[in-house]
Every structure is written in structure tokens, then in C-alpha cells.
Amino acid sequence: MKIALKHKNKGIAGIWEDLQSDYHGITAIIDKYSGIELTYEELYRTIRFFATGLQVLGLKKGDHVSLFSENNAKWLISDQAILMCGAVDAVRGSQAPVEELLYILEHSDSVGLIAENLEVVEKLKDYPLNFIVCLSNEPIPQEIKRDYNVYSFSD
């Protein structure tokens, strides 16, 4: 399938609008790991919703966010939402040593963290951040939510 973009200067995150318009009913993602199957229309809507959520949390154009997750649908949604906000993401796999993740947080000037799971959140929650988003569907203990400004992907 050859994809011809209607608007050439939208940037990477801008292609989703054209894709959902032209291929709205076609499946864009099947991710058995996270149980996500989305058409281009649903994917575009999900990226926009997630971007809006990040902006509600205070993310602004030019801000930096660390994204520590393995490759999956929620990683793609998070990455594209960050770009849609005009922000920059510092990415690394979630299995990297905690010292490396802390180094990236510190040297990337990240204002927020998007983490694959609660294990990563637990390792990094004490680093001063404006917000943390946990991509997994694990229940987040109330005291962690409250004390560290942690949200789930669905929040």
C-alpha cells in the first residue's frame, strides 16, 4: 500500500490526520502484548486524546519527557502524542539499569516520565517530575498516585 500525504509539511505527528482520513477503517495496529487493536481513525483519536492529557498535566511545546518502555502500541501512542504537543521525548527501554534511567532523566531536563509499568515507576518515583504516566493496566496505589502525581494510561 502506497501512502500519499495530502499536506507535506505537517511533521511526523501530523501524518496521522491524513492516514485516519484516507484509511479510517483499516487496521493500523495489532498489539497482542497490550491487547490493543486500532484502526487508523481510532489510533489518531487515541494519540490526540493522550496528547490532550499530557497538555492538561502541564506539558508545553519544547518541554522534554522521558519515555521508558519496550516497543508496543502504547509506546507508539505516547511517542506520537509527545511530538503532537511539540515536546521532545528521551526514549530508552524500561529494562535498562536504574542508574542509566536516572542519568537520562537528569540530563534530558525531563519534566515528566512515561513508564512502561509500575516497577519502573517505583524505581524512579523519587526523581522530581511534574507528572508520571504508567502505561500498564496495573492498579496504582493511592499514596503513589497522590504523592508522586502518577496517572495510568487510561487516566
Per-residue pLDDT tens over the stretch 14-56: 889 989 989 999 999 999 988 999 999 999 999 999 999 999 9
Per-residue pLDDT tens over the stretch 45-54: 999 999 999 9
pTM for the whole structure: 0.91
φ/ψ (deg, to 5) at 141: -55, 140
Inform me whether the pLDDT recorded for 6 exceeds 70.
no
Comparing CA positions, the residue from 83, 13, 91, 30 lying closest to residue 54 is 83
Per-residue pLDDT tens over the stretch 106-151: 999 999 999 999 999 999 999 999 999 999 989 999 999 999 999 9
The rounded distance, in Å, linking the Cα atoms of 108 and 57 is 19
